[in-house]
């Protein structure tokens, strides 16, 4: 089961960082079609041409440390969060006392979301998930919870929980034995039923995010209705086409550590050290972009 998802690489929030009105201007609720097209018709063929396997591209990484905090006691569940064993991390037992018990997820680098891999053992309880980060205090994040498959029920499916990366995130230890990491504190408003996870990973911003974002914006503007200030749209399409090509040239030199080479579906510390040649077998060249 692949843990990669197009929304991890480029989201509508990424598009809005460059064009704040990109949804409103065109009367759209999302741009998932254009985002997917930018990947499948543009980025993936280029990666394949250099020997990279696009389906091994990952934005989800192993957590450096994961703790359950239940009944005022910390339990190290890092190993269970990383391995590929199904349903070996029981979130219901971690969140026994709501709004007090918590799941702490730590990483050596800041991250923009969590990946919660659940199979069939999901929650049927009405509940809301909350995530906070440390900036000297636990500060609540505004999240998009994609584990809500059944309305009002968080953890009713596996999926991502994402947010805009905060600029004032600080490292800290969680207990007297932990290394200072970038931590999030996850709490829930009602104890879930079931909700057994196979993996929990952190979602990082990919170095391929910028070219994918620019390419998506190019596609949006070049296909804009001619009655809507066509000259402006053409100019923007041309600008983003150039930005996409330039950003891809830069990214291809450093993207080797974003490809999974084992069965975990999460990038390990060893895999982040991979060079492009190690991932692709060599032979790729920038001038073919």
1 is a domain residue: no
Question: Looking at residues 39-45, what average pLDDT do you find?
Answer: 94
Look-up: residue for tokens 């989800």?
Answer: 60
Residues 151 and 279 in one domain: no
Show the domain range for 44.
6-59+205-288
> What CA–CA distance (Å, rounded) separates 47 from 45?
5
- Cα angle vertex 29, ends 8, 114, to 5°? 25
Residue 79 lies in a domain: yes
Q: What is the CATH number of the domain that holds 69?
A: 2.60.120
Establish if 255 belongs to a structural domain. Answer: yes
Given this model, what pLDDT does residue 2 score?
A: 45
Residues 116, 210, single domain; the answer is no
Domain boundary among 203, 238, 270: 203
Q: Please give the pLDDT value at position 286.
A: 37
Q: Looking at the domain assignment, is residue 82 inside a domain?
A: yes
* Overall number of domains in the chain: 2
Do 185 and 218 belong to one domain? Answer: no
Regarding whether 69 and 52 lie in a shared domain, the answer is no
99 and 215 share a domain?
no
In this structure, the answer to whether residues 41 and 77 fall within a common structural domain is: no
Encoded tokens for 146 = 């994609």
* 122 and 222 housed in the same domain: no
* 242-283 residue pLDDT tens: 999 999 999 998 888 888 877 677 888 888 877 766 776 554
Running DSSP on this structure, what letter comes out for residue 135?
S
Residue 21 DSSP label? T
């Amino acid at each position: 089961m692949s843990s990669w998802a197009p929304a991890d690489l480029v989201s509508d929030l990424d598009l809005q960082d460059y064009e704040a009105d990109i949804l409103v201007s065109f009367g759209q609720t999302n741009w998932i079609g254009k985002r997917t097209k930018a990947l499948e018709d543009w980025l993936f063929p280029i990666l394949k041409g250099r020997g990279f396997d696009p389906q091994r591209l990952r934005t989800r990484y192993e957590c450096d440390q994961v703790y359950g905090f239940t009944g005022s006691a910390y339990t190290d569940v890092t190993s269970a969060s990383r391995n590929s064993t199904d349903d070996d991390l029981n979130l219901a037992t971690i969140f026994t006392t709501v709004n007090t018990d918590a799941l702490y997820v730590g990483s050596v680098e800041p991250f923009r979301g969590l990946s919660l891999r659940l199979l069939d053992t999901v929650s049927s309880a009405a509940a809301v998930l909350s995530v906070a980060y440390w900036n000297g205090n636990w500060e609540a994040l505004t999240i998009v919870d994609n584990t809500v498959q059944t309305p009002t029920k968080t953890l009713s499916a596996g999926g991502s929980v994402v947010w805009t990366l905060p600029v004032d995130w600080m490292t800290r230890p969680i207990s007297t034995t932990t290394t200072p990491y970038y931590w999030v504190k996850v709490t829930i408003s009602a104890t879930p039923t079931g909700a057994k996870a196979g993996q929990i990973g952190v979602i990082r911003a990919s170095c391929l995010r910028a070219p994918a974002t620019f390419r998506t914006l190019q596609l949006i503007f070049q296909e804009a209705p001619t009655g809507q200030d066509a000259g402006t749209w053409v100019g923007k399409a041309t600008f983003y086409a150039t930005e996409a090509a330039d950003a891809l040239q830069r990214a291809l030199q450093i993207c080797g550590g974003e490809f999974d080479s084992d069965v975990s579906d999460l990038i390990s510390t060893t895999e982040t050290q991979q060079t492009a040649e190690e991932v692709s077998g060599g032979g790729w060249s920038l001038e073919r972009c």
